[in-house]
Amino acid sequence: MTDTFPAATGPATGPAIDAATDAATDPATDPVTTTVRSGPERSRWAALVVLCVGMLMMVLDATVVNVALPAIKDDLGFSQSGLAWVVNGYLISFGGLLLLSGRLGDLVGRRDVFLAGLVLFSASSLACGLAQDQTVLVAARFVQGCGGALTSAVILGMIVTLFPAPSEQARAIGVFSFVASAGGSIGLLAGGVITQLVSWHWIFFINLPIGVGTAIAARRYVERDRGIGLAEGADVPGAVLVTSALMLAVDTIVSPAATYGWGAGRTVGFAAASVALLVAFVVREATCRQPLVPLGIFASRNVTGANLIQALTVAGMFGMFFLGVLYLQQVKGYDALQTGLAYLPCTIVMAVLSVRYTERLAMRFGARTVLVPGLAMIALGLALFARVPVDGSYLVDVLPSALLMGGGVGISFPALMMLSMSGVRPEDAGLASGLVNTTCQVGAALGLAVLATLSTARTESLAAAGAPLKEALVGGYQRGFVVGTVLVLVALGVALTVIRTPRAEVAAVDLDAPADDEPELAVA
């Protein structure tokens, strides 16, 4: 299996590539390219800001709620198991609809899907904020996840068509990657501030003016693209199969696996049903004349490898953002605002590297060369956190790990975004974008479930043996960090063995062609 790689991820330039780029993004020949590229330079970068604000809303909402859960529980009378559905309702609909939403953007137009998602997300945020009982809040969170999937699934695809030139695309992806990866840290801080100063209702109300403003700006700065038409991928059975499979998979991870354990009959049954639906979807797409998801997208080892690396890395990183928060709050006694501030240095490092330097490094050395040390930094940061003591100091035991994690994410995630979109045709960019978001969401859900389960089991074992509460908690967190480190090291191994960097001009992958039809490329 050979690789493809876009000009954006390597230093290759020249007349041939320039001509190919112009042809691939000519609005006269490409019905799905976001045509704002032909407008003023300022409009394209304004469009990037609009898209990134939309993405930030989705990422913030996934974490800002976590800080407010205790207040929501007390106000609405949730049980502990019922409270989990405030989070799970969003995760299940969001994760289940990402792939379908991305493909829908290719078919009917990405801007229309983006706007529809913003409207749905904003309206459901209002419903969440007004909720006075448990059922309304959980139902509104489910709808909010649907809106989040529609909005976020198409953003990366819009960015790569807005910025086809190598250096500009790398810079734009760097900005997007910062927003997508650092939004979680920002959400912790924002959630703490809003919950403490106002009430939990306002973590949802704040989405309404932002969503409306973003939608208005999108209509002005992001020109409408036509899409390739529903007839090119109107595979309703395939849509039902893949959405059902992904929703059931996420539900299995966040509900029965977390409640009853991975070996429980209910967990195994749900997992088996999810796999069966996914297999049926693959068979359907392989035999359908107009598939929803052309399986040729997996022909490139760079695209497949990058998505696998992302799932593993995100799963491992939840040790920092989930267990790290618990350590600061339950062991060190930090409140929500202090916890958010503790992660601020990590966010700043991400911003500086993602926005300022990673693009230059990727353009000079190639995305693969940048990716490897970034993953190594993340693994080292998690490994350092695995030795954090009960009486640890923030400056000595927490901050170095946070800085390493921030640096690793700031370097590696823009490179991953470039690789995951490498060689994809413009008309399939929404699908590739949806796939990126899907692997991220599944990785996050899987990482949360696995690390939380193993950490809790270790804590209970130590407590049963007579260890003090804080010592037992830290012992559980340490095990979670060790497992997270292993997951990122596996991702590093995939990067070293699967990802390849072409030396020369790259032609886009034909997603409808078998892997053998990919162009032969010299690799480093």
H or E element at residue 340: helix 336-342
Strand partners, 502: 523
Asked if residue 109 lies in contact with residue 149, where contact means CB atoms within 8 angstroms, the answer is no
Residue-wise pLDDT for 70-91, tens only, equals: 788 889 988 766 777 888 788 8
Pairwise pLDDT comparison (521 vs 382), residue with the higher score = 382
Task: Please report which residue ranges of 288-332 form alpha helices under DSSP H.
Answer: 301-318, 324-326
Q: Average the pLDDT over 182-206 and give the result.
A: 81
Inform me whether the pLDDT recorded for 515 exceeds 50: no
The whole-number pLDDT of residue 520 equals 34
Helix (H, G, I), strand (E, B) or coil at 222: coil
Torsional sign, CA 187, 416, 7, 356: positive
Q: Output the pLDDT for position 181.
A: 73
Confidence of residue 132 (pLDDT cuts 50, 70, 90): very high
335: helix, strand or coil: coil
Is the pLDDT reported for residue 35 higher than 60?
Answer: no
Total number of residues shown for the chain: 524
Whether the per-residue pLDDT at 234 is higher than 80: the answer is: no
Burial 73-110 (b: 16+ CB within 10 A, else e): beebebeeeebbbbbbbbbbbbbbbbbbbbbbbbbbbb
Assign 285 to helix, strand or coil.
helix
pLDDT above 90 covers a percentage of the chain that reads: 33
The answer to whether residue 371 scores a pLDDT higher than 90 is: yes
517: pLDDT strictly greater than 50 = no
Phi, psi of 523 (to 5 degrees): -125, 155
pLDDT in the model for residue 80: 60
Of the chain, the end-to-end C-alpha distance in Å amounts to: 15
Distance of CA 399 to the CA centre of its chain: 24
Quote the pLDDT of residue 233.
Answer: 62
Give the CA dihedral 413, 245, 146, 180, nearest 10 degrees.
Answer: -10
Cα(238)–Cα(245) distance, rounded to whole angstroms? 10
Q: Give dist(CA 468, CA 324) in Å, integer.
A: 19
**Helices 166-197 and 399-420, packing angle to 10 deg:** 130
Q: Where are the domains of the chain?
A: 7-234+290-517, 235-289
Handedness of CA 361, 363, 364, 367 (dihedral sign): positive
Helix H, strand E, coil C: the string for 458-496 is HHHHHHHCCCCHHHHHHHHHHHHHHHHHHHHHHHHHHHH
Residue 12 has pLDDT above 60, yes or no: no
500-512 exposure pattern, b = at least 16 Cβ within 10 A, e = fewer: bbbeebbebbbbe
**Do 36 and 162 meet the contact criterion of CB atoms below 8 Å apart?**
yes
Contact, 412 vs 178, CB < 8 A? no
Residue scoring higher pLDDT (62 or 328): 328
Task: Identify the pLDDT of residue 255.
Answer: 75
Task: Please report the pLDDT score of residue 376 as a whole number.
Answer: 96
Look at residue 67 and tell me whether its pLDDT is greater than 60.
yes
Which residues are paired to 424 by β-bridges? 509
Rounded to whole angstroms, the Cα distance separating 122 from 209 reads 8
Task: Please spell the DSSP secondary structure of 30-94, one letter per residue.
Answer: -TTS-GGGGS-HHHHHHHHHHHHHHHHHHHHHHHHHHHHHHHHHHHHT--HHHHHHHHHHHHHHH
CA distance linking residue 44 with residue 49, whole number of Å:
9
Query: CA–CA separation, 202 vs 214, rounded Å?
Result: 18
Q: Across 156-170, 289-303, 386-400, 422-436, which has the greatest mean pLDDT?
A: 386-400
Mean pLDDT of all residues belonging to the chain:
81
pLDDT tens, residue by residue, 461-484: 999 999 999 999 999 999 999 999
Q: Which of 120-134, 201-215, 310-324, 379-393 has the lowest mean pLDDT?
A: 310-324
pLDDT for position 231: 67
pLDDT (average), residues 124-138: 94
Q: Are the C-beta atoms of residues 210 and 88 closer than 8 Å to each other?
A: no
Q: What is the mean pLDDT of residues 185-192?
A: 75
Instruction: Please report how the helices 265-287 and 236-254 are oriented relative to each other, as an axis angle in degrees rounded to 10.
Output: 160
Judge whether residue 112 has pLDDT over 50: yes
Helix, strand or coil, per DSSP, at residue 396:
helix
CA–CA distance, 37 with 222 (Å, rounded to integer): 9
Neighbours of 220 (CB within 10 A): 12
| Residue 147 to residue 79: CA distance in whole angstroms | 27
What is the spatial distance between Cα 246 and Cα 438, in angstroms, rounded to a whole number?
9
Taking 90 as the threshold, does the pLDDT of residue 198 lie above it? no
Other beta carbons within 10 angstroms of residue 394's beta carbon come to: 13
Torsion of CA 432, 415, 422, 486, to 10 degrees: -70
CA angle 458, 460, 463 (to 5 degrees): 110
Amino acid at 382: L
Render 346-360 in DSSP notation, one character per residue: HHHHHHHIIIIIHHH
* Winning range, highest mean pLDDT, from 139-148, 298-307, 357-366: 139-148
Reported pTM: 0.75
Q: What is the rounded distance in angstroms from the CA atom of residue 36 to the CA atom of residue 44?
A: 6
The CATH code for residues 7-234+290-517 is: 1.20.1250.20
Amino acid 8: pLDDT: 34
Which pair of tokens denotes residue 267? 């967990």
The answer to whether the beta carbons of residues 419 and 3 sit under 8 Å apart is no
Nearest C-alpha neighbor of 523 from the set 309, 355, 305, 336? 305
pLDDT of residue 251 exceeding 50, the answer is yes
Coil, helix or strand at residue 509: strand
